[in-house]
């Protein structure tokens, strides 16, 4: 099959990937970018009648001659970027690269140990992107990374802790800039059992609210459990009374056998455990998750105030914990609605002003509704993108099986068992005018991927540029069970190796596509990105991404929890973003990425696990990265204190830390509120 072409089949059907018609190929050693190679895979991105060979890494082979072969091991097909130069032969064998930089990338196994000097930051090379080029100058300090074998047990980071309701002073090491005045508010699970009942999933833990208050170079810490109905009910009965994402509440053992049986047919009490993030509406702070309830919280005292039900203001059954904000305070969010005709994706707009002191979500409205590909299997989504004029929603093949979820209690199963990864569906992008609510008529598709967090989105030359963290497998949610996170030794290594890692990618969505737009031509006019967008004969635009990282970046284990200088650069073209490197099941490093040069800088400390980075700009600063990064760093070691880390956002070097001698679990998200 020279050139990997066939011309005897129609194009792929709407929204689905066509299976390869070639005889099944046995799995073979990969060229280094994937777990296995399959010969003659179809190209769903090409137009009618066009076929290409696809490397297992997802790249299409391009060139006038047959692709090169990897010289080590069996002979899989590989694209030119994947195949090593010939000569010389590869320094690292294809078998080793297949294990370490595979579809579920682990940290480089060729480096057997990990010894990063404490309180150091490391920069990527200014020239070149290969594995060799990333290795440090021999005249500088040696940098090694975590081995995928023998990972440290992090079970103490997933254990119940006591709250610290009264502020305690932190021990300062180094220097905390005096201009930082405000509260770093963090949210995440902090209690994982009631009596003899234990939660099954990391997301089930009761919300523990954290506050680091910074003022004139000093820091104090406090924490309180969110006084939700779920927390209070469970505490009162000393058992799990309210079902959560991964845990089904069992019937009261004091009831009769018949009463316990009949309780399976009762509608489950919805959880109001808002443990994911802090969000802001009309200047007020709310603890939020993805259900229908939020709780207003005093950012100074962490006191739980009123409970807010989304359904009393707009016709939705929940909303994300990652809204977007305009400069005037207008807030946009998304939430699903479920009715007799199936489900809908809804874009919500909340006005910036209060009508009175008790106002919460009054004036909120549904800007537009979008029908899913399958109304009984809508997509799960954790966030969405927003540019200056558009909302960008990604309909991905992580599916909510509504029938399974509705009947989960009857079958004795938790909610998360109704969520499945279905890669027979492609990923679809929806673009909505956020001022008119108009859904743009374009059809933008990509190969299947999962994304939980967007980095940024902006408009340029009639296109929307969308940057986000993507992974090629969407089964991660079911992996984060507490029994997996609390493993040690070989069992922990196996769990880590089974997870697909997220990496930063860029997509370009051309907006001005019509019947006159040529077929088979790259519609991306932007010279600074290699992302492609090609229209097929059916009018669909197939998008292929550009990686926003250099080759060899897999050694940090992936990147998640991305953050930018949001107040000035959200919806605008930008240069820098920050995130957590995942050399473990939780973040084990902090990373700064330059999207123009693809260089990156790393902060990492042995045995320490930093949280989501939060960017705080210097007052009246003009440079994009003029500010500091705040991150809460925890450790599973008994003799190590948790601390608030302060990094210079420009140099990515540590300025100081504020240590507190109280145990803290690993959390999710947070915000900084300035005084």
What's residue 629's pLDDT? 99
Work out the pLDDT band at 356, boundaries 50, 70, 90: confident
Q: Is 41 a residue whose pLDDT tops 90?
A: no
Query: pLDDT-derived band of residue 95, with 50, 70 and 90 as boundaries?
Result: very low
Cα–Cα–Cα angle for 36, 42, 46, rounded to 5 degrees: 130
Query: Is 675 annotated as belonging to a binding site?
Result: no
Strands (E), 25-81: none
Residue 283 above 80 pLDDT?
A: yes
> Which residues, listed in sequence order, are joined to residue 617 by a DSSP beta bridge?
627
Q: What are 64's two structure tokens?
A: 């006038």
Average pLDDT of the residues in 201-228: 98
Predicted pLDDT at 215: 97
| Highest mean pLDDT: which range of 69-83, 331-345, 401-415, 443-457 | 443-457
Q: Is 341 annotated as a binding residue?
A: no
Q: Which of 333, 445, 434, 335 is nearest to 397 (CA)?
A: 445
pLDDT recorded at residue 124: 45
* Confidence band of 367 (pLDDT split at 50, 70, 90): very high
- Cβ contacts of residue 78 below 8 Å, gap of 6+? 31, 37, 55, 56, 61, 67, 68, 69, 70
Which has the closest alpha carbon to 37: 21, 59, 17, 12?
A: 59
Is the model more confident about 266 or about 348?
348
Spell out the domain ranges in the chain.
155-674
Q: How confident is the model at residue 98 (pLDDT cuts 50, 70, 90)?
A: very low
pLDDT of residue 466: 99
**344 within 8 A of 317, measured Cβ to Cβ:** no
Q: Are 165 and 444 in contact (CB under 8 A)?
A: no
Structure tokens at 302: 């962490």
Residue 584: is its pLDDT beyond 90? yes
d(CA 469, CA 493): 23
pLDDT band at residue 341 under the 50/70/90 scheme: confident
Q: Which of 381, 372, 395, 391 is nearest to 436 (CA)?
A: 391
Q: Report the C-alpha gap between 456 and 505 in whole angstroms.
A: 11
- Are the C-beta atoms of 502 and 470 separated by less than 8 Å? yes
Which pair of structure tokens corresponds to residue 86? 């010939």
Average pLDDT of span 178-184: 97
Identify the H or E element spanning 654.
strand 654-660
Q: Was 669 annotated as part of a binding site?
A: yes
Question: In the structure, what pLDDT confidence band is assigned to residue 469 with cuts at 50, 70 and 90?
Answer: very high
Range with the lowest mean pLDDT among 354-358, 610-614, 651-655? Answer: 354-358
Distance CA 447, CA 427 (A): 6
Coil/strand/helix, residue 221 = strand
Is the pLDDT assigned to residue 90 strictly greater than 80? no
pLDDT reported for residue 254: 59
Region 245-265 average pLDDT: 65
- Closest by Cα among 428, 327, 564 to 16: 428
pLDDT > 90 in the chain, percent:
69
CA distances from 255 to 148, 232, 260, 265, 518 (A): 49, 21, 6, 15, 69
Q: Tell me, what's the pLDDT at 322? A: 98
User: Is pLDDT larger for residue 588 or for residue 93?
Assistant: 588
Helical ranges in 441-521 per DSSP H: 476-479, 482-485, 489-498
User: 105-150: per-residue pLDDT in tens?
Assistant: 333 333 333 333 334 444 444 333 332 223 233 333 334 455 556 8
Instruction: Please determine, for residue 386, whether its predicted confidence score (pLDDT) is greater than 90.
Output: yes
Per-residue pLDDT tens digits for 296-326: 999 999 999 999 999 999 999 999 999 999 9
Q: What's the pLDDT at 460? A: 98
What is the per-residue pLDDT for 353? 87
Q: Give me 533's structure tokens.
A: 């967008």
The mean pLDDT value of the chain amounts to 82
Check the annotation: does 322 bind a ligand.
Answer: yes
- The whole-angstrom separation of Cα 451 and Cα 536 is 25
pLDDT (0 to 100) of residue 105:
33
pLDDT in tens, 494-505: 999 999 999 999
**pLDDT for the residue numbered 268:** 64
The tens digit of pLDDT for each residue in 416-437 reads: 999 999 999 999 999 999 999 9
Per-residue tokens: 208? 């523990």
3-state helix, strand, coil in the chain (%, to 5): 10, 35, 55
Looking at residue 351, what is its pLDDT?
95
251 pLDDT tier (thresholds 50, 70, 90): low
Calculate Rg over the CA atoms of the chain.
25
């Amino acid at each position: 099959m020279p050139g990997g072409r066939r011309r005897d089949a129609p194009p792929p059907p709407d929204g689905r990937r066509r299976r390869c018609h070639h005889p099944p190929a046995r799995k073979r050693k990969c060229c280094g970018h994937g777990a296995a190679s399959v010969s003659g895979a179809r190209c769903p991105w090409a137009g009618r009648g066009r076929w290409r060979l696809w490397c297992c890494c997802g790249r299409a082979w391009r060139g006038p001659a047959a692709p090169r072969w990897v010289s080590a091991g069996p002979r899989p097909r590989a694209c030119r970027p994947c195949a090593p130069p010939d000569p010389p032969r590869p320094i690292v064998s294809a078998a080793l690269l297949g294990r370490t930089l595979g579809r579920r990338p682990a940290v480089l196994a060729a480096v057997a140990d990990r010894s990063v000097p404490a309180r150091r930051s490391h920069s990527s090379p200014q020239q070149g992107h290969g594995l060799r080029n990333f290795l440090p100058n021999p005249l500088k300090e040696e940098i090694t990374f975590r081995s995928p074998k023998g990972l440290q047990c992090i079970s103490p980071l997933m254990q119940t802790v006591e709250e610290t309701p009264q502020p305690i002073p932190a021990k300062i090491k180094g220097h905390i800039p005096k201009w930082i005045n405000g509260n770093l508010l963090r949210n995440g699970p902090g209690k994982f059992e009631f009596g003899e009942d234990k939660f099954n999933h990391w997301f089930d833990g009761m919300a523990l609210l954290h506050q680091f208050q910074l003022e004139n170079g000093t820091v104090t810490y406090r924490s309180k459990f969110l006084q939700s109905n779920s927390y209070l009910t469970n505490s009162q009965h000393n058992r799990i009374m309210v079902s959560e994402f991964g845990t089904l509440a069992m019937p009261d053992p004091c009831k009769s056998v018949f009463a316990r049986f009949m309780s399976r047919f009762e509608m489950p009490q919805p959880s109001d455990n808002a443990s994911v993030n802090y969000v802001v509406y009309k200047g007020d702070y709310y603890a939020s998750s993805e259900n229908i309830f939020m709780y207003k919280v005093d950012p100074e005292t962490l006191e739980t105030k009123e409970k807010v039900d989304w359904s009393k203001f707009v016709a939705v059954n929940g909303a994300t914990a990652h809204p977007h904000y305009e400069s005037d305070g207008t807030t946009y969010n998304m939430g699903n609605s479920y009715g007799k005709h199936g489900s809908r994706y809804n874009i919500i707009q909340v006005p910036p002003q209060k009508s009175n002191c008790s106002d919460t979500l009054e004036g909120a409205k549904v800007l537009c509704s979008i029908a899913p590909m399958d109304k009984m299997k809508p997509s799960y989504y954790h966030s969405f993108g927003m540019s200056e004029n558009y909302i960008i929603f990604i309909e991905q093949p992580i599916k909510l099986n509504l029938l399974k979820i509705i009947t989960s209690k009857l079958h004795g199963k938790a909610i998360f068992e109704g969520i499945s990864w279905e890669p027979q569906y492609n990923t679809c992008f929806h673009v909505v005018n956020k001022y008119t609510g108009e859904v743009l008529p374009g059809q933008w598709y990509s190969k299947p991927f999962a994304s939980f967090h967007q980095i940024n989105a902006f408009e340029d030359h009639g296109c929307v540029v969308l940057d986000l963290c993507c992974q090629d497998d969407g089964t991660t949610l079911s992996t984060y069970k507490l029994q997996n996170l609390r493993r040690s030794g070989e069992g922990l290594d196996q769990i880590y190796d089974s997870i697909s890692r997220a990496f930063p990618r860029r997509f370009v969505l051309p907006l001005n596509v019509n019947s006159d737009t040529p077929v088979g031509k790259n519609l991306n006019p932007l010279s600074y990105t290699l992302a492609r967008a090609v229209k097929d004969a059916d009018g669909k635009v197939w998008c292929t991404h550009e990686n926003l990282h250099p080759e060899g970046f897999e050694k940090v284990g992936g990147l998640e929890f991305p953050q930018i200088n949001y107040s000035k650069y959200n919806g605008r073209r930008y240069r820098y973003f920050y995130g957590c490197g995942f050399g473990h099941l939780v973040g084990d490093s902090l990373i700064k990425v330059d999207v123009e040069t693809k260089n990156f800088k790393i902060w990492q400390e042995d045995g320490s696990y930093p949280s989501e980075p939060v960017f705080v700009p210097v007052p009246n600063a003009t440079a994009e990265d003029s500010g500091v990064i705040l991150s809460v760093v925890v450790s599973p070691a008994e003799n190590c204190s948790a601390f608030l880390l302060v990094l210079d956002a420009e140099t990515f070097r540590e300025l100081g830390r504020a240590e507190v001698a109280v145990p803290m679990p690993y959390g999710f998200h947070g915000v900084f509120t300035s005084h």
